[in-house]
Chains A and B, each alone.
Chain A
């Protein structure tokens, strides 16, 4: 069962530039799905389409098994999101920012205190959101995303602006939400080492095409299966030239098997 499924999702901006090409995203229920890709790959466009912030041109989006364009309201009632920078009203306090959404979601007022506690912002008092540091803004953005106790959480670069301690806290928070409350989490990030520590599933997108999708283990396994002979040499460039002259496919890789290396390999090929 997939919490989110897109079928041949294609999107073009003006001038018919294809930014998403037949994306078939499958986010399993209960997973933490890392959505990776270089800048301009189409990550945010995909997430904006999923939330209905962009008008869909081709393809289908299903959330909780329902078509988004038919059941938008009931789907959004169970989705929390943070897309790019947090949307905060700078002239309002943290509590006021949450109160205006609490009215729309019609969740209990006590929930405001709970989410502020969860993200580590319990005592901001009368301080306006415009006076918050980047990290505090990010935390409040996540508190807003969690306010309606969503079943599906969409986070675009959630660790932006957080210090190392904040990143660790956020990782723990997301892990807890996933494990203890069964929340499905879709997060995009460029911090590959962070993604690697947290996610169960990975999707890699580049130039609008989904290059890989599956569990983190299967990605690492695929990497092993596709491995050829590894030659260590003092002059890699010269070695590649000689191998190619002899009709062998050869390229220079970094001798590492972490997600960052796999990601760079996938993007470059």
Chain B
């Protein structure tokens, strides 16, 4: 366990100043900033909306609508691929595999970094949503939100989105560990995302593992069987794809 912690620390340090770490920060605040700007554009409605009873639900729903449908899957595809690309680009797999740590530790430490980065993104995104409601109150005539921030409900909602992302993380991780060329995981990710957008108009669309985030918003417009618990499918896919990725990584003939 200690070796895993040290390996995780090492992997976490590696992503300092990388595109993936900036992506998490920029991605976390992107939608809230746009939403905040749009709120200021309609400045005259701000006093009513900010003092209203459903401010947080409104901000949360609007933010997640844009994020969950398109930006989150794209961000996950990019960030996951960038984490492994770091080793290929710097030709450092050979150094990493010549260190005294098991291949299992390396595999799961990298996966843990991606998962923690996702959590980091969720935290920043929620802080962004919160600031989106609070910052207008700094201006004259706009009240501070009366409604308490619904932490528990939002935490549950965030948890669902996080689970929706898990199959994307697992499959992107699997692909990006196998291919040196960055375009392969990115191309596969974009292709599967487009396929998932088409698949939601199919009864069995839930079998495409990239569509779960979108299904949260488009369920009523989709033809996917409404009785299917796609969160269970997401977890199942994550477990299966992680195991397959692990086996492929362990049995790779060349390790740098």
Question: Which A residues lie at the B interface, using CB under 8 A?
Answer: 48, 51-55, 72-74, 76-77, 79, 81, 83-85, 87-92, 96, 99-101, 103-106, 144
Contacts and interface: CB of A to CB of B under 8 A. Distances in A.
A53 B97 contact: yes
Given A53-B256, A101-B10, A106-B6, A87 B102 contact: no
Contact of B254 (A53, A90, A106): A53
B14 interface: yes
A89 B14 contact: yes
Interface residues of B, number: 29
Given A73-B101, A74-B100, A92-B17, A87 B92 contact: yes
Nearest to B9: A103
Please indicate which of the listed interface residues A53, A79, A85 has the most CB atoms of chain B within 10 Å of its own CB: A53
Contact of A144 (B91, B95, B102): B95
A80 B140 CA distance: 64
A101 B6 CA distance: 9
A85 B93 CA distance: 12
Please indicate which of the listed interface residues A51, A55, A92, A104 has the most CB atoms of chain B within 10 Å of its own CB: A104
Given A87-B90, A89-B90, A103-B9, A73 B100 contact: yes
Interface string B62-95: 0000000000000000000000001001111111
Interface string B8-20: 0111011011100
Contacts of B254: 53-55
Contacts of B102: 73
Contacts of B94: 48, 51, 53, 83-84, 87
B17 to A, nearest CB: 5
B7 interface: yes
Interface of B: 6-7, 9-11, 13-14, 16-18, 86, 89-102, 253-256
Nearest to B19: A91
Contacts of A101: 10, 95, 99
A169 B12 CA distance: 35
Nearest to A57: B253
A48 B97 CA distance: 10
Given A53-B254, A55-B253, A87-B90, A103 B13 contact: yes
Given A90-B90, A91-B17, A103 B10 contact: yes
B100 A100 contact: no
B90 A88 contact: yes
Contact of B7 (A85, A99, A104): A104
A100 B90 contact: no
25 contacts: A51-B98, A53-B98, A55-B253, A72-B100, A73-B100, A74-B100, A76-B98, A76-B99, A79-B98, A83-B94, A83-B98, A87-B93, A88-B92, A89-B14, A90-B90, A91-B17, A92-B14, A92-B17, A96-B13, A99-B13, A101-B95, A103-B13, A104-B7, A104-B99, A144-B95
A103 B99 CA distance: 11
A59 B82 CA distance: 37
A48 B253 CA distance: 12
B255 A52 contact: yes
Given A87-B94, A92-B13, A104-B101, 13 more contacts: A48-B256, A53-B254, A55-B253, A74-B100, A76-B99, A76-B100, A84-B94, A85-B91, A87-B93, A87-B96, A90-B90, A101-B95, A101-B99
A91 B10 CA distance: 15
A89 B90 CA distance: 6
Contacts of A84: 94
Please indicate which of the listed interface residues B9, B94, B98 has the most CB atoms of chain A within 10 Å of its own CB: B98
